[in-house]
Amino acid sequence: MVDGSDLVIIGVSAGLALGILIASLVFFGIRWYKNRAHLRQCANERSLTTLPIRVNGLETSTDFSASVTNSITIHQSEQPQKSSQFFWWNHHNKDRFTSTSGILRYSYKDIQKATQNFTTILGQGSFGPVYKAVMPGGVVAVKVLASNSKQGEKEFQTEVSLLGRLHHRNLVNLLGYCIDKGQRMLIYEFMSNGSLANLLYNVEELVLGWEERLQVALDISHGIEYLHEGAVPPVIHRDLKSANILLDQSMRAKVADFGLSKEEAYDGRNSGLKGTYGYIDPVYMTTNKFTMKSDIYSFGIIMFELITAIHPQQNLMEYINLAAMSPDGVDEILDKQLAGECNIEEVRELAAIAHKCLHKSQRKRPSIGEVSQAILKIKQRRLVKEDTMSFGSRDFSRAASRIEDQHVELTKMTSIKESS
């Protein structure tokens, strides 16, 4: 017979054994889950950085194949000079490392310190807030991905992978990124004069002159031309608008925000089209197919913004259609700030280029290379005219000087004759 004390001992032993078994299962289950999550994260990061790396000069480029084993070599020998100023900080912080795309990765703590705990906000976009930060290499802009945006995370990956291989003087340079503590951030070069939209529509900002606007149009065209015809494979921006054109301290324009198009277009139905209303190609809205010629359409709208300072969401297309009814119709919608301060023939020429970009048929729209060349010709004619006027002015000055010298000589000769 088994007495009561033996039954208690057996029960306690069985309970302990069962508890140990359950604890072991929970322990190994958690460990398996963490290992799986870590492997998934590594796979995601590899997918970000195994695209072809494109390190470019102003107009040329060299392709490198990226791998985890050669990442440090690329950082040391092939990374563009613009990012080298951040190397010292990177070298002295064990929490930061360089990805295979050559773009520096920072910790959340680094960004928090550089932004003084995210105090100075520069703006708010569809991607999330943009903060001013001071790093050892200088002032930068930090874009913080909205934490509740699943779509934004995908766009974040697009941005890093694209800008990791795209470098051009008319594209905003990506200097680093952060994936830490559930946060995703992008570190860009700081563009001190803000967005083109802010300069055109904020009355408190300085007024852009015509020469500056023409140069901005040329800069934008060069940036898009690199994306469409210089990058391998070609890149379609998909969200070109004046708010995504940033200007540096010299008023030179750069195209920004790749892969960050998350604003919904509303055309009377819940269409779910990507882009920004007012800039979207009507062909894309009907076919749902976005092509390079859709970017051309958006650029045409931006050129008319430069001419009129009328926002696309303030019936700009109606003004454009009215102006198209006569050869000098654009004179009537010209920005009042430019009245009497610009060459009206140049305005008409730029408007004619913009009209071609807005053609209803994508096939009849020009390529970005053709647009760029057409704008450049306007600039070149202006320079030739200025040189001619300057040359004529110098000739007139020389002639006047010679006449004056001759007059002095005649006066001297007359004086000598009278004295003799």
Q: Report the alpha-carbon distance of residue 213 to residue 252 in Å, rounded.
A: 10
Count of residues making up the chain: 420
Q: CA 159 to CA 185: how far, in whole Å?
A: 11
Q: How confident is the model at residue 342, as a pLDDT?
A: 93
Q: Which of 110, 239, 257, 295 is catalytic?
A: 239
Distance, CA of 216 to CA of 199 (rounded, Å): 12
- CATH placement of domain 104-189: 3.30.200.20
| HEC readout, 13-65 | HHHHHHHHHHHHHHHHHHHHHHHHHHHHHHHHHHHHHCCCEEEECCCCEEEEC
CA distance 224 to 37: 39
pLDDT for position 393: 55
pLDDT digits 0-9 by tens, 8-27: 777 778 888 888 888 888 88
331 counts as catalytic: no
- Kindly indicate whether the domain formed by 194-381 is annotated with CATH number 3.90.950.20: no
Kindly give, in sequence order, each residue whose CB lies less than 8 Å from that of residue 206, ignoring residues fewer than 6 positions away: 199
Residue 257, judged by CB atoms within 10 A of its CB (0-12, 13-18, 19+), counts as: buried
Q: So where are the chain's domains?
A: 104-189, 194-381
Task: Give the tens place of pLDDT for each residue, 96-127.
Answer: 445 545 688 899 999 999 999 999 998 877 67
DSSP E strand stretches across 3-110: 53-56, 61-64, 97-98, 104-105
Instruction: Classify burial at 374, counting beta carbons within 10 Å of its beta carbon; exposed 0-12, middle 13-18, buried 19 or more.
Output: middle
Six token digits for residue 148:
């509740």
| pLDDT tens readout for residues 67-77 | 223 332 333 33
φ, ψ of residue 337 in degrees (nearest 5): -65, -20
Dump pLDDT digits (tens) for 244-275: 999 999 999 999 987 654 344 544 444 567 78
pTM of the model: 0.69
351-362 confidence digits (pLDDT tens): 999 999 999 999
DSSP state at residue 365: S
Over residues 358-410, the pLDDT tens digits come to 999 999 999 999 999 999 999 999 888 776 666 555 565 666 666 676 666 66
What is the model's pLDDT at position 31? 78
Angle between helices 292-308 and 210-225 (to 10 degrees): 170
- What does the pLDDT look like over 137-167, one tens digit per residue? 899 999 998 777 665 667 777 778 777 788 8
How far apart CA 231 and CA 167 sit, in angstroms, is 9
pLDDT band at 240 (very low <50, low <70, confident <90, very high): very high
Residue 34 has pLDDT above 60, yes or no: yes
Q: 10 Å Cβ neighbour count for 347?
A: 23
Q: How far apart are CA 268 and CA 277, in angstroms?
A: 12
Same fold, 104-189 and 194-381: no
Residue type, 317: M
| Residue 141: per-residue pLDDT | 94
- Phi, psi of 204, deg, nearest 5: -80, -15
